[in-house]
Structures are given as structure tokens and as C-alpha cells.
Chain A
Amino acid sequence: MAEIVFEIDEETGELTTTIRGLPGKACAPVGELLQQLLGAPAVERHTEEYSRARGQTRPQIRTGERR
């Protein structure tokens, strides 16, 4: 099962989103939905899960971090 983790900073209202359970490019449609609703992210990073699916050995973190 896939999930989106939303983290809202209660002091600033900033939102960070992380997409899990959709390795590689499978998360792209969800990322597009978030971008449609939230606008372009201030920062975007790939999760380790994304990198594994693409055969990379160096871990990266988070997809769709928004500030």
C-alpha cells in the first residue's frame, strides 16, 4: 500500500510531503497531483526507495519536500 506523509509545521504553516511505497517513477502521478494542489516544491529530493528502484547504490532522501 502506498502513502503520502504530510508534515505541517504549526508555527510557520510550512508543509513537507513524502511519498512512500511507490518506487521509481511510479510516484510521478502522485507528485504531479501534489504539485497541482500545492505548486512547485521549494525543495525536492528522491527517497532511498526511489533510488533503489533505479538501481543506484547511493541513498538519497525524500520526494516532494515542500517549504
Chain B
Amino acid sequence: MSKYHVFAQAIFPSLELLLAALTELGYPREQVEVGESLSLFGYGDDRRPEVADVVIRRRWLHRASNDLGFQKTPSGYVPIVSEWDAGYLRRRHGEDFVVALRKAYNRAVIAEARTRLKGSLRPAVRQGTTTKIVLRF
């Protein structure tokens, strides 16, 4: 049985932006359950002791996957990913899933800030390992 890990250092405060980030990564809204203390199930349909408030069921992942979830905390949503799926998702996304999600979430933040401030974005500039984006308003 693959152990679940909670990535408490990766916090996503906005549910709306988290859902937008997941959509960008290929998990559209219809594949994401939102609720409270939803049970997580393992690859053998076994109910796991862990629960989550946002869940992508394993049927949307790999046949050997476990459910993928996010637990709501006072600061925001934190990912809960099984050890096996951390490896699978790394292969699927070409990088660590939490890193890919943070980047997608950041892009959603920039889009939201642009809308709320009625601003305009300058073209993104890559400098080494950093991508710089300027929002003018």
C-alpha cells in the first residue's frame, strides 16, 4: 500500500484559482470533486484513512493510481499525494507535480490580478531559471 504524503509547504489559498490551475494541468472541473472530508480510495478500491476536500479520483489518473487530494487548512488547500502517484505524476507532467501546480497556480494568480486591476501584461521574459512577468495598471 502506497503511503500518502501531505505537502504542507505548498499552500493554495484560493479554491477558484486552484481549480483553474488543475484545469491547465489537464484535470478539468468535471474531473475534480469538491466537498468536505471526502474519503480517499487506493488503487484496490480500498478506503484509506486519509480524507480531503478536493479530490481527483484515481480513474482520471493511472490504473495503478490512488486518489489525489487537497486538504483544506486555515491558510488554504494543501496537496495530499500517494508515494506511488508522486512518481507517476512526475512522469506525466515532466516535473514534480507540486512544482507544476505551483507554477500553474501562479499563472492563474497573474491572470486574476490582471482582471481585477484592469491591467495589461508585458511579454514574459526568461532569465536563467526565472520567468519574469510585468503587470502594468
Please list the residues of chain A having a beta carbon within 8 angstroms of any beta carbon in chain B: 1-15, 30, 33-34, 36-40
CA distance A1 to B10 in the complex (A): 33
User: Is A7 within 8 A of B112, CB to CB?
Assistant: no
> How many residues belonging to B are interface residues under a CB distance threshold of 8 Å?
31
User: Is B132 within 8 A of A3, CB to CB?
Assistant: no
Within the complex, which residue of B11, B101, B130, B134 is in contact with A39, where a contact is CB–CB below 8 Å? B11
User: Is A37 within 8 A of B113, CB to CB?
Assistant: yes
User: Is B130 within 8 A of A6, CB to CB?
Assistant: no
Q: A2-B136, A3-B136, A36-B13 are in contact. Are A8 and B131 (CB under 8 A)?
A: yes
| Residues of B contacting A40 in the complex (Cβ-Cβ under 8 angstroms) | 75
Say how far A27's CB is from chain B's closest CB, in angstroms. 12
In chain B, positions 85-131 with a C-beta closer than 8 Å to chain A are 98-103, 106, 109-110, 112-113, 116-117, 119, 126, 129-131
Say how far A4's CB is from chain B's closest CB, in angstroms. 5
Q: A3-B137, A4-B135, A6-B106 are in contact. Are A13 and B130 (CB under 8 A)?
A: no
CA distance A1 to B135 in the complex (A): 10
Q: A3-B137, A8-B106, A13-B98 are in contact. Are A39 and B75 (CB under 8 A)?
A: yes
A-B contact pairs, 27 of them (CB 8 A): A1-B136, A2-B137, A3-B119, A4-B134, A6-B134, A6-B135, A7-B130, A7-B131, A7-B132, A8-B103, A8-B106, A8-B130, A8-B131, A8-B133, A9-B129, A9-B130, A10-B130, A12-B99, A12-B102, A13-B10, A13-B98, A15-B102, A15-B106, A34-B113, A37-B17, A38-B13, A40-B75
